[in-house]
């Protein structure tokens, strides 16, 4: 199985034990429940798009507003996604995560346009495996080919407020993966 191959790399890199993850996010990654229902249909290659079960616009905007308020985050047009995708980019002084925590530059996640509503985000390998195995998302097809890191995941857009909270926790984990720890004064 693909994830069994990835697990060895995860152990070697210790990405799954990332000390940058807040305790509550780390706990949630182990308690991720199964996403109800079948997976949405997605495209098998670039552009990697969610085709059905799309997030309502109101939930997309709630998620966007939360994400833009994360420490050290700037919103910019994505440098790697489709036109209209809004990227979450860390300011230079906040970007202390490993290379595998970034898609391009300091972009750690992006929200696709409203017709889609899914996100791509970089996640620690252990969490990426849980996201896939519990039906919350899937490995990016270009990552499956070995071109980009195996930490690149599509997380399906939230269909209701309960799913919004799960997707928000995943986005917080992506932010933590990419962020430098706060230095004590």
Domain ranges, ordered by start, for the chain = 2-31+51-178
pLDDT tens readout for residues 46-102: 999 999 999 999 999 999 999 999 999 999 999 999 999 999 999 999 999 999 999
Which secondary-structure segment (H or E) carries 7?
helix 2-13
User: In terms of Cα–Cα distance, which of 154, 167, 172 is closest to 18?
Assistant: 172
pLDDT for 31 equals 79
pLDDT tens readout for residues 160-179: 999 999 999 999 999 999 99
pLDDT tens readout for residues 89-100: 999 999 999 999
Q: Angle 161-178/57-68 helices, nearest 10 degrees?
A: 30
User: In terms of Cα–Cα distance, which of 172, 129, 158 is closest to 25?
Assistant: 172
Q: Which residues of 117-132 are buried (b: 16+ CB within 10 A; e: fewer)?
A: bbbbbbbbbbbbbbbb
In degrees, rounded to 5, the angle at the alpha carbon of residue 59 between the alpha carbons of residues 19 and 167 is 25
> Is the CB of residue 167 less than 8 Å from the CB of residue 158?
yes
Rounded to whole angstroms, the Cα distance separating 13 from 8 reads: 9
Q: Which CATH class is domain 2-31+51-178?
A: alpha beta
User: In terms of Cα–Cα distance, which of 45, 122, 56 is closest to 89?
Assistant: 122
Question: What confidence tier does 32 reach under pLDDT thresholds 50, 70, 90?
Answer: very high
State the pTM of this model. 0.84
């Amino acid at each position: 199985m693909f994830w069994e191959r990835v697990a060895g790399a995860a152990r070697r890199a210790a990405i799954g034990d990332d000390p940058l993850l807040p305790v509550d996010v780390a706990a949630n990654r182990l308690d991720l429940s199964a996403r109800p229902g079948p997976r949405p249909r997605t495209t098998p290659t670039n552009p990697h798009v969610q085709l059905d079960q799309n997030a309502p616009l109101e939930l997309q905007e709630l998620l966007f507003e939360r994400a833009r308020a994360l420490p050290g985050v700037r919103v910019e047009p994505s440098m790697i996604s489709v036109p209209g995708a809004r990227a979450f980019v860390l300011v230079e002084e906040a970007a202390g995560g490993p290379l595998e925590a970034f898609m391009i530059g300091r972009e750690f996640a992006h929200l696709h346009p409203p017709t889609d509503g899914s996100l791509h985000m970089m996640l620690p390998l252990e969490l990426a495996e849980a996201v896939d195995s519990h039906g919350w998302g899937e490995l990016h097809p270009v990552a499956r080919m070995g071109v980009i890191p195996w930490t690149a995941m599509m997380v399906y857009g939230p269909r209701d407020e309960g799913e919004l909270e799960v997707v928000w926790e995943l986005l917080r984990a992506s932010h933590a993966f990419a962020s430098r720890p706060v230095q004590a004064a």
